[in-house]
Amino acid sequence: MKCRFRVGLISLIFMSLAFPVHAESGLEELKMKKRVGLGVAAAGPFSVLGVELDINVTEELSIGGGLGTGLDYSTFVIKGRYFLLGERFSPYLAAGLARWWTDGTSETNVGPSLLKNKFLSGNNYQEGFNIWLLYPALGIQYLHPTGVAIYAEIQALFKLPTLANGTYAGLGALLYF
C-alpha cells in the first residue's frame, strides 16, 4: 500500500515537472480552454462515493453537481466554487446544497457517523429518511495542464431546517476537456 502511494506521488511530481504551467499563459487560459470536468468524488457531501460534473464559468468561478451513494442511501449535490488562482494549486471557497435520502433500508448501522449521530438520531432507518444539507467549504485544487485536477476540501454540513451540524471532508478527481 505504501509503495503504491509513493509510486503515485512520484508520478504526480514527475508529470507536474514535465508539463509546466507558464505564468504568461497561466491557469486562467487553461480554465477557459478546458471548461467541462467529469470525475469522481469520495466522502464530503457525496457521503461515500459519487460522480461529479464541474463547469468553469469564469477563471475564478465554477458550478457543479453530481450523484452519489452512502451505500444504503442515495445522494445528490450542487455546488459553486470561487478560486483564488495560483500557478498549479488554487485554494477555493465553496457553497453547496446536498440531499441524502432513502425510501428505507434494512441496515441498522448507517454511515458516516455524522449522519447517524447528528442528523438521524432516534430515527428508524427502515422507514427511510430525506435530509437536506447546506454547506460552506474550504478547499484546494491542483490542476495539471493536461486537464487532470485533484482536490481536497473540508465542509461544515448544516441539516435543514434544524441546522444540526458537523464537519466532514472530501476528495475528488476530475478530467477537464
pLDDT digits (tens, 9 = 90+) for 30-39: 888 999 999 9
Place of cell 441546522: 163
Q: Cβ contacts of residue 70 below 8 Å, gap of 6+?
A: 47, 48, 100, 110, 111, 112, 115
Containing structural domain, residue 132: 22-176
Q: Kindly state whether residue 128 falls inside one of the protein's structural domains.
A: yes
In a domain, 145, yes or no: yes
Asked if the structure places residue 5 within a domain, the reply is no
Q: Which residues contact 173 (CB under 8 A, 6 or more apart)?
A: 39, 40, 148, 149, 150, 151
Before 145, cis peptide (omega within 30)? Answer: no
**Cα 26 → chain centroid:** 24
Beta carbons of 99 and 50 less than 8 angstroms apart: no
Q: What is the CATH classification number for the domain harbouring 27? A: 2.40.160.20
List, for residues 34-77, the tens digit of each pLDDT value.
Answer: 999 999 999 999 999 999 999 999 999 999 999 999 888 899 99
The 10s digit of each residue's pLDDT in 62-121 is 999 999 998 888 999 999 999 998 888 999 999 999 999 988 777 667 777 777 777 786
Is residue 105 situated within a structural domain?
A: yes
- This model's pTM is above 0.85: no
Count how many domains the chain has: 1
Consecutive H or E run containing 4: helix 2-18
- Asked whether residue 109 is domain-assigned, the answer is yes
Instruction: Determine, yes or no, domain membership for 96.
Output: yes
Q: Does residue 16 fall inside a structural domain? A: no
- Inside any domain, residue 143: yes
Q: Are 10 and 2 in contact (CB under 8 A)?
A: no
